[in-house]
Amino acid sequence: MILLTGGAGYIGSHTAVELIEAGYDVLIADNFYNSKPEVLDAIEKITGKRPALEEIDVCDVNKVDAMFEKYDIEAVLHFASYKAVGESVEKPLMYYRNDLDTLLTVMEAMKKHGVNNLIFSSSATVYGVPETVPLVEGMPTGCTNPYGWTKYMAEQIIQDVCYAQKDMSAVILRYFNPIGAHKSALIGEQPNGVPNNLMPYITQVASGIRPHLNVFGNDYDTPDGTGVRDYIHVVDIAKGHIAAVKYAMNHKGAEVVNLGTGNGYSVLDIVKTFERVNGVPVPYQIAPRREGDVAQCYANPDKAERLLGWKAEEDLDSMCKDAWEWEKHITK
C-alpha cells in the first residue's frame, strides 16, 4: 500500500489516480484542511476504485502510529503541508510548526515501522533568486519566505535521515508551477478565497467571478517584461511521482529531482494561450510587481529523465484547456 499524506489535495489527488491506474493500492491520510472529502468520490469515479482513507492530522503522533500499525505501507508520498507563500510571511510559526511537524511525525513513524521509501513534495522556491536559468539541482539554494524555508529545511532533514539510516530511500521532488487538471474534469485545484496563483486566478476571471487579472509587473528583464515560469501539467507531475516511487523502491539514499518541462512562459503567454485555446477573453491590467517574485524560474529537467525515466508530455495548450474544463465543472 502507498500512503499519500495530504492525498485529497491538488497534487495528491492527481497522484492517487495515477497510482491506482498503475495498479497500486492507495491510502490517503488527510484532515481536509484545504481539500474536500468529495475528492475521494471523484477518484473512485475516474479509476473505479476507492482509496482507503484515514481522516487524521499527520502531526498527531498516536494516530499516525496507529495508521502505520493498521496498514502494510511500502512507501510514503508526503504532500501534507500548508502552501501559501503570503500567508507564511504573516504566520511563520504556523508554517514552521505544521510543515516541519508533519514531516518529522511521518518520518519517525516510518523509522519505527520499517518503512523506507519516501517521496517528498519540495518546490522550485528553494532556488531563491536564481542567478541563472535553467535551474539544475546542484545550484545554490536559499529562500525568500517561510514557506520556502520549510521546504529547504525539510530537504535537509530528509538528507540527514538518509545519511544516518542506510536502508532509507528518498526522492525529493522540486515542483515548478503545476497547473491544469485531470482530463475528466472531476478533480483539479480548488483554492480557498481569492487565488494567489496565476492559473486559478485566470480561470476565475474567464468565468466572470473576478473582473480582471492583475499582471504583477511588466518591467522584468524578460522577453515581454512579465514574469517567466515553468508551467507543468499536474498529471505530468503526478506521473513523476510514480516514476519516483519505482526508483525509490530499487535504490537507497536521497536524490533531489526537478519536476519541470524546461520551458519558460511569461504571464502574457499564458493569458494569450488561454484565450486562444478556450475562446474566452481574459481581461487584464498591468499592476505593480508582487513582493518576492523573481523574473524567471524554469527547470533543467534532464535529471528526472536520466534518473527516473520521466519527462513531461503535456503542452501549454492542454494545460490551459484542462484548467478551463475544470473551472467550468466547479462553477456550473
Give the footprint of ligand UFG on this chain (CB under 6 A).
83, 85, 123-125, 177, 196-198, 201, 213-216, 227, 229, 267, 290, 293, 297
Say how many C-beta atoms besides its own lie within 10 A of residue 281's C-beta. Answer: 12
Instruction: Give the H/E segment covering residue 76.
Output: strand 75-78
Angle, helices 38-47/10-21, rounded to nearest 10 degrees = 30
Q: Is the CB of 71 or the CB of 216 nearer to ligand UFG?
A: 216
User: For residue 181, which of 239, 238, 234 has the smallest C-alpha distance?
Assistant: 234
- Cβ 63 to ligand UFG, closest distance in Å? 27
Q: How many helices (H) and strands (E) does the chain have?
A: 11, 14
Give the integer Cα–Cα distance in Å for 282 and 89.
Answer: 30
The H-assigned helical ranges of the chain are: 10-21, 38-47, 61-70, 85-90, 92-113, 146-164, 198-206, 234-250, 267-278, 302-303, 316-331
Check 95, 147, 152, 231 and give the catalytic one: 147
Q: Is the CB of 123 or the CB of 203 nearer to ligand UFG?
A: 123
Inter-residue contact 81 to 87 (CB < 8 Å): no
Q: Is the CB of 51 or the CB of 195 nearer to ligand UFG?
A: 195
- Cβ 1 to ligand UFG, closest distance in Å? 29
- Cβ 28 to ligand UFG, closest distance in Å? 21
Q: What is the 3-state secondary structure (H, E, C) of 112-139?
A: HHCCCEEEEEEEHHHHCCCCCCCECCCC
Name 103's Cβ contacts closer than 8 Å, sequence gap at least 6.
78, 81, 120, 154, 157, 158
* Cell numbers representing residue 57 in the block: 492530522
Angle at 305 between CA 151 and CA 295, to 5 degrees: 50
Q: Is the CB of 132 or the CB of 250 nearer to ligand UFG?
A: 132
- Cβ 12 to ligand UFG, closest distance in Å? 15
Q: Is the CB of 229 or the CB of 239 nearer to ligand UFG?
A: 229
- Cβ 258 to ligand UFG, closest distance in Å? 11
Check if 147 is active-site: yes
Catalytic residues: 147
